[in-house]
Amino acid sequence: MTQMDGKVALVTGAASGIGQASALALARAGAAVCVSDINGAGAEETAQSILDAGGKAISLTCDVTKSEDVSAMVAATVDAFGPLDAAVNNAGIAGSFTDRLHEADDAMLEQVLAVNLRGVWNCMKAELSQMLAAGGGSIVNIASVAGLIGAPKAAAYTASKHAVVGLTKSAAVDYAKLGLRVNAICPAYTDTAMVQSAIAGNPLMAHIMERAIPMGRLGQPAEIAEAVLWLCSDASSFVTGHALTLDGGLVAL
Ligand SMILES: NC(=O)c1ccc[n+]([C@@H]2O[C@H](COP(=O)([O-])OP(=O)(O)OC[C@H]3O[C@@H](n4cnc5c(N)ncnc54)[C@H](O)[C@@H]3O)[C@@H](O)[C@H]2O)c1
């Protein structure tokens, strides 16, 4: 019996990076997984890898900024596999990493908040009402160390991720007696497309990121996925409202 046998999970932004690694880890642990992303073809590839390995998955296109897409995602998951046990709200964007606040574009702020804050809000609303009806569940929101400390030259991103930690704590308290757990994960720089695109725009960036982390290296998506899996599973049954750092020691500095 593995950790998630018989459980049903969904992951947003699961076409790549941390979301993809989380979907694969949940499926390996026995969960049936709804793999969703705004990039439907990428979601399909992740789902196909799960099916090829003998797991259970469906894929769909879902833009988390659209509440109708999110409701359809939760409904499709329940239709395919039954009541939702775990949800990983991972979809997120970085915005611009180069502008200081007074130079930053207002439209960029709107876009970052739409995906990182409103997207998580939309997902939590749909997931919490489904889980309440089913009598329990575990939600994991992917925040960031930028949800706990100020990330340089990323004010919009930092504000959005502090908001995700806030949503997580507030919902954890409100639903604690109702069988629902809500936690956040706060990774430091992790080797995904998001970080690679920041490095591509500024070759010194890789060095700066590695120097910022006491372990001297980037995180790997699979390392983050292990913590996602633990928080989704009953192994973390007394944990709620927690913002778990996976950061090679960055926040301890
Ligand atoms: N990589 C890091 O260093 C790092 C560190 C801390 C937190 N995070 C967070 O981890 C999460 C995943 O990021 P990643 O690093 O794996 O990046 P990534 O770019 O590899 O993956 C993000 C995924 O989200 C999807 N997405 C973007 N907008 C969407 C939308 N509106 N609706 C649905 N899907 C959408 C993208 O298509 C992509 O597949 C994000 O929330 C990010 O903020 C990343």
Q: Which CATH number fits the domain that encloses residue 19?
A: 3.40.50.720
**Residue 1 confidence (pLDDT) above 60:** no
* One-letter amino acid of 74: V
For residue 18 and ligand 1, the question of a CB distance below 6 A is answered with yes
Write down the catalytic residue from 81, 97, 157, 189: 157
157 is catalytic: yes
C-alpha 188, offset from chain centre: 13
Query: Within a domain: residue 208?
Result: no
Q: Which residues pair with 89 in a beta bridge?
A: 141
Query: Within a domain: residue 249?
Result: no
**Which tens digit of pLDDT belongs to each residue from 220-243?**
999 999 999 999 999 999 999 999
For residue 142 and ligand 1, the question of a CB distance below 6 A is answered with yes
Expressed as residue numbers, the domain containing 178 is: 8-193+221-236
Question: What's the CA gap between 75 and 176, in Å, rounded?
Answer: 24
**Which tens digit of pLDDT belongs to each residue from 185-212?**
999 999 999 999 888 877 788 888 989 9
Give the largest Cα separation in the chain, rounded: 54
Q: What is the CA radius of gyration of the chain?
A: 17
Share of the chain above pLDDT 70, in %: 99
What's the CA-to-centroid distance between 177 and ligand 1, angstroms?
A: 31
Q: Residue 108 — φ and ψ, nearest 5°?
A: -65, -40
Q: Which residues pair with 186 in a beta bridge?
A: 245
Instruction: Return the DSSP state at 98.
Output: S
Query: Within a domain: residue 252?
Result: no
Query: Within a domain: residue 127?
Result: yes
For residue 64 and ligand 1, the question of a CB distance below 6 A is answered with yes
pTM above 0.75, yes or no: yes
Query: Within a domain: residue 248?
Result: no
Question: What's the CA gap between 13 and 20, in Å, rounded?
Answer: 7
pLDDT of 100: 86
Atom of ligand 1 nearest to the CA of 115: 31
Number of folded domains that form the chain: 1
Contact 167, 121 (CB under 8 A): yes
pLDDT of 201: 74
What's the CA-to-centroid distance between 75 and ligand 1, angstroms?
A: 23
**Which tens digit of pLDDT belongs to each residue from 37-92?**
999 999 999 999 999 999 999 999 999 999 999 999 999 999 999 999 999 999 99
For residue 21 and ligand 1, the question of a CB distance below 6 A is answered with no
pLDDT of 207: 85
